[in-house]
Structure 1
Amino acid sequence: MTYLKKLFPLLFLFHLVSCGEQVKTALQKPNIIYIMSDDHTTQGFGIYGSRLAGLNPTPNLDKLAKEGMIFDNAFVNNAICVPSRAAIITGQRAQTNGVLDLEGTIAPEKQYFPKEMKKLGYQTAIVGKWHLHHEPAAFDYYQVLPGQGKYYDPEFRVQGEKLWPKNVVQTKGHSSDMIMDATLDYLKNKRDKDQPFFLMHHFKAPHDDFEYAPRYENYLADTFIPEPESLYEIGNHGSVAVRGKNDSLTRIIGSSVSHRNVIRNQAMNIYWNDSTIYKQYRNAKDIGQEELVKWEMDAAEKEYTSKVYQDYLKKYLRCVKGVDDNIKRLLDYLETEGLLENTIIVYTGDQGFMLGEHDYIDKRWMYDESMRMPFFVRYPEKIKAGSRTDAIINNTDFAPTIIELAGGTTPEYMQGKSFKSILETGTEPEDWQKATYYRYWMHLAHRHQNPAHFGIRTKDYKLIFYYGKYWVNTDDPNVVWNKESWGNDFSNHTPPAWEFYDLNKDPKEMNNTYNKPENRAIIDDLKKQLFTMREDLNETDANYPHIQKVIDEYWDK
């Protein structure tokens, strides 16, 4: 009995130490901030070495990236806002989560990412752009924009006494500042400081129409923005699917910087039919004069395209500047509060964006400027500063990775794969995915006029198939239809075609060499991989027989 009396205090002390260690471990669990900007493409950074890198557009983001791991081959599954965000929040592909276009929705029961984080003991929050239409009710806290939201004086939907979406907070200022204000308010005043947090912070910027804060009016005002050569020279880029026979579709396919696309372009305010030089050309009487005036027209068009491009890029980069400056506000707060070292910080965009390459604006394309996402992660405890990888990841992989970094395991229902080991070791496993699959569904939608297509991208090659068909009403496969909300009145299908790019020889995708005999073995292998991926990912066209018919007809052509 005397022995037990002496032993009891030791056992009690051991119990206290054990409980203390458990509490300490819980408190030390890393906080996680997932930051995503809208349309912030890799060309708009210093770290990705684009033609714009010399402008130093993102000093704060570059510093953050260099303190962790930078991904050079992060790709979106569908370069359009809602499907990308759905893939991230579910860890699933389009036909599994049900979101194929901008009208897709994710109901609270399918908001898997925050649900899984709550299971791991995290308080969850989302601030900024949501765009998945249903209430983000799976989060413990939210303050989100309605739909796309406004650049100036945005209102936010919040929790409250009324049913979603009737609880509204009105703010006054630029959206990038207001969204960061909301995030800092959450971190300072709204969270439980004894519990780790998972926060999704989503900027609206730099989404088109690039309405920047007034303080950036003079930023880059006197700077010439480097222009892509492909803005003026198309080369052998594209195919009959995007250019038409004898370039007959170039006036309507792919929204442009120049006047090339007559349906949607950045130069819509100028109408050449009313210009003096156009009238001179129209009234030319002899071939010599006609050719001279045509040359003058071409020179004038190039000069005007350059002016439009300079305006376009300066507005874009001013929005990016607002994002970058607000990132510093966040980092300063985290450092002041002693949270920086124990917080995993992820930064990405919801897709890429065309900044004049091939004379394209917007996204949607499977070309790299549109398909590639910026992506980097900082976490000093586990991720080596200054590390970089060319491992292929896609946006369905984000949720599984963050779940595992938080101490969980990837749910079986998620199609994405965790790349936690790549972050922690800097090494790509031998069995890691060697390719990624892409699918754009919204055929000729929203006056951007991008044909529907799918394809495969490896580190070395890209293979794209444009099937050129609308959807159908699956209740009646013979009825072809197009969603009214897509704003498309173009009544013809576009020609099916393949495109193949050797990315080692042709990283800017200027030379479609699909028909070169020397590429046949590579292309055949890519088609086998593509077929298998579509089956494995539940991305076939079994429900769209009119599309499958085109695929079958053109697969071996």
Structure 2
Amino acid sequence: MIIRNLFTILFALIVFVSCSTSEESPEEPQRPNILFIMSDDHAYQAISAYSNHLIETPNIDRIAKEGMLFTNASVTNSICAPSRATILTGKHTHIHGKVDNRRPFDSTQVTFPQLFQKAGYQTAMYGKLHFGNNPKGVDDFMILPGQGNYINPKFITPEGDTTIEGYVTDIITDLTLGWLEEGRDKEKPFMMMYLHKAPHRPWWPRPDKFAEFTKKQFPEPPTLFDNYEGRGTAARDAEMNILMHQRYSHDSKIRPETLEAMGDVEPYVEPLPWDEFYGPYNRATPAQKALYDPTLDSINSWFKENWAGLSMEDKMRWKYQRYMQDYLACISSVDDNIGRVLDYLEESGLAENTIVIYTSDQGFYLGEHGWFDKRFIYDESFKTPLLIRWPGVVTPGSRTTEMVQNLDFAQTMLEMADIPAPDDMQGESLVPLLKGQNDLWTREEVYYHYYEYPAVHMVKRHYGIVTEEYKLIHFYYDVDEWELFDRKKDPMEMHNVYNDPDYAEVVADLTIRLGKLRQKYGDSEALDSMYIKLHFEE
């Protein structure tokens, strides 16, 4: 009896101690989920967290209010597919090989989703990848083929192609929410890539946004009528002027029949096939066309009655407004849908342990210097929006002016998830900045290189170095021209001071630093020549 009681007491003590130890021992930290949101060609000027002079984006702004806004985030090469390849690999375009939209992506490159997948994360990609049809390292995907379509888009899936009726921005969000709610393994952390097509050209808003925004007028940028005086040939030779190069049917939504009935329309813009209008329009069902037609009729009636009597300046102003109406209407849908996703994270309880990143594959010109499109190292295309919310880590409402790049995104997300980054990645993790440890951030300049010339928009090949104060650019191949801009004194980049004696020491210093950057990242004149040769052989 005594022995039995001793065993009983001993067992009780063991249970008590083990329970006490279990209750007091800290739980293993839960790995964060990551939601990476990227739009296509979303200018930072069209996010009200940066400036509300064009549009209010309250949902994207929520990420900045609850996290950090980067005011000097940039790309390494301002063109879609190369930028996306840099984000996936953490390498400059001359290293991963996708220097332009023409060359295929090197599928032997390791991408950060593969590393997340290997580390036990569940991974998914919904929306626009832009290249390839079998993304690496994702457990689930539905991606648009190539550029994709706004209206009733087709998707590539592991099971084959499928077409979904509706508006692309809404559909990509529906698919994303569906996966978050029902498609994932809720026992695993996730890394989700939620990738919008919008606001890529040609801009087809949802019918209700189309009707709403065509009634709006937007402020003109101060440089809308830039004549490029005092700069080199690159700015003057580029073919991305809103008046001269945006197409009446493709961009301004003038029906081909309207143009045909009017005869010669000035300024002359090289016509495209009727399919440039009817390709997107005829994807719509009769019911959808009935929603688009009243707005299209209004635009075409006004154009037919008034165009010939306008001065060239007023024609530029009209085309600028048509551009902004459609572009910003597409942005409005993106913002609405991001709000749906952020609301879901809150309502489901996921928000507390989910890092949210919002960016674009590059910037975009919204009439600055008279332009649309991107490609240049000038700020509107070189800079990209970047907003990061990391609950419990990032101080809400914080901002940083440090020079960061899309080159850094892969390593940043890997460190967030405590996954080792490969040694050949070339970026730097932004985690010290996000934690407020600015003394650990030592980068003072970034490197840029654009290759796709001669090609659409005719932006010359160039590379350069950018600091918070200055930007030094070398245009090469068919020219040998240098530009220097004082980013503090000349934020609109109107005055090339490369030959100004007052900046001689700046030029000398930046030229040396540019050479060191090219060496650091493995770029060289030999590679420049190789990519020129490959461009013409393909």
TM-score (norm 2): 0.83
Match in the other structure for 2:55: 56
Match in the other structure for 1:113: 112
| Residue 430 of structure 1: how far off its partner (Å) | 5.8
Q: Does structure 1 residue 9 correspond to structure 2 residue 15?
A: yes
2:239 aligned to which of 239, 254, 266: 254
Q: Where do residues 263-302 of structure 1 align in structure 2 (5 Å cutoff)?
A: 274=264, 300-302=311-313
Match in the other structure for 1:197: 190
| Residue 90 of structure 1: how far off its partner (Å) | 0.5
Q: Does structure 1 residue 373 correspond to structure 2 residue 384?
A: yes
Q: Please say if residues 258 and 267 of structure 1, whose CA atoms lie closer than 8 Å, have aligned partners that are also in contact.
A: no
Report the CA distance shift for 1:237/1:118 in structure 2 as closer, same or farther (over 3 A): farther
Matched letter for residue 190 of structure 1: G
Q: Aligned partners of 1:298, 1:358: CA distance in 2, in Å?
A: 25
Q: Does structure 1 residue 527 correspond to structure 2 residue 536?
A: no
**Aligned pair count?**
483
Q: Does structure 1 residue 324 correspond to structure 2 residue 317?
A: no
Q: Where do residues 9-48 of structure 1 align in structure 2 (5 Å cutoff)?
A: 9-10=15-16, 12-13=18-19, 17=23, 21-22=27-28, 25=29, 28-48=30-50
Query: How big is each residue's C-alpha offset from its partner over 1:239-298, in whole Å with a ceiling of 9 and x where there is no partner?
Result: 13443xxxxx4xxx23111227999996898899946999xxxxxxxxxxxxxxxxxx99
Q: Does structure 1 residue 515 correspond to structure 2 residue 524?
A: no
Q: Please say if residues 46 and 55 of structure 2, whose CA atoms lie closer than 8 Å, have aligned partners that are also in contact.
A: no
**Structure with the larger RCO, 1 or 2 (CA within 8 Å, 6+ apart):** 2
Q: Please say if residues 128 and 179 of structure 1, whose CA atoms lie closer than 8 Å, have aligned partners that are also in contact.
A: yes
Q: Please say if residues 108 and 138 of structure 1, whose CA atoms lie closer than 8 Å, have aligned partners that are also in contact.
A: no
Report the CA distance shift for 1:267/1:135 in structure 2 as closer, same or farther (over 3 A): closer
Match in the other structure for 1:293: none
Q: Mind listing any 5+ residue stretches in structure 1 that lack a counterpart? A: 161-166, 244-248, 279-296, 470-492, 549-557
Q: Does structure 1 residue 466 correspond to structure 2 residue 466?
A: no
Query: How big is each residue's C-alpha offset from its partner over 1:516-541, in whole Å with a ceiling of 9 and x where there is no partner?
Result: 11111101111111100001101212
* Residue range with higher mean Cα deviation, 68-77 or 10-19: 10-19
C-alpha RMSD of matched pairs (Å) = 3.0
| Residue 98 of structure 1: how far off its partner (Å) | 1.5
Report the CA distance shift for 1:260/1:198 in structure 2 as closer, same or farther (over 3 A): closer
Q: Mind listing any 5+ residue stretches in structure 2 that lack a counterpart? A: 1-5, 269-307, 533-538
* Residue range with higher mean Cα deviation, 331-340 or 383-392: 331-340
2:351 aligned to which of 317, 330, 340: 340
Q: Aligned partners of 1:122, 1:419: CA distance in 2, in Å?
A: 21
Q: Where do residues 132-281 of structure 1 align in structure 2 (5 Å cutoff)?
A: 132-160=131-159, 167-234=160-227, 236=229, 238-243=231-236, 249=237, 253-259=238-244, 274=264
Matched letter for residue 506 of structure 1: D
Query: How big is each residue's C-alpha offset from its partner over 1:37-96, in whole Å with a ceiling of 9 and x where there is no partner?
Result: 0000111111112xxx23433121112211110000000000111110000000111122
Matched letter for residue 466 of structure 1: F
Q: Aligned partners of 1:496, 1:547: CA distance in 2, in Å?
A: 17
Q: Please say if residues 31 and 342 of structure 1, whose CA atoms lie closer than 8 Å, have aligned partners that are also in contact.
A: yes
Q: Aligned partners of 1:547, 1:156: CA distance in 2, in Å?
A: 32
Q: Does structure 1 residue 83 correspond to structure 2 residue 82?
A: yes
Match in the other structure for 2:318: 307
Q: Please say if residues 464 and 498 of structure 1, whose CA atoms lie closer than 8 Å, have aligned partners that are also in contact.
A: yes
Q: Secondary structure at the match of 2:27?
A: helix
Q: Secondary structure at the match of 1:206?
A: coil
Q: Does structure 1 residue 434 correspond to structure 2 residue 453?
A: no
Match in the other structure for 1:281: none
Matched letter for residue 199 of structure 1: M
Report the CA distance shift for 1:415/1:141 in structure 2 as closer, same or farther (over 3 A): same
Q: Secondary structure at the match of 2:338?
A: helix
Matched letter for residue 21 of structure 1: E
* Residue range with higher mean Cα deviation, 6-15 or 197-206: 6-15
Q: Secondary structure at the match of 2:19?
A: helix
Matched letter for residue 243 of structure 2: S
Q: Where do residues 394-433 of structure 1 align in structure 2 (5 Å cutoff)?
A: 394-425=405-436, 427-429=437-439, 431-433=441-443
Among the aligned pairs, what percent are the same residue?
A: 37
Matched letter for residue 354 of structure 2: T
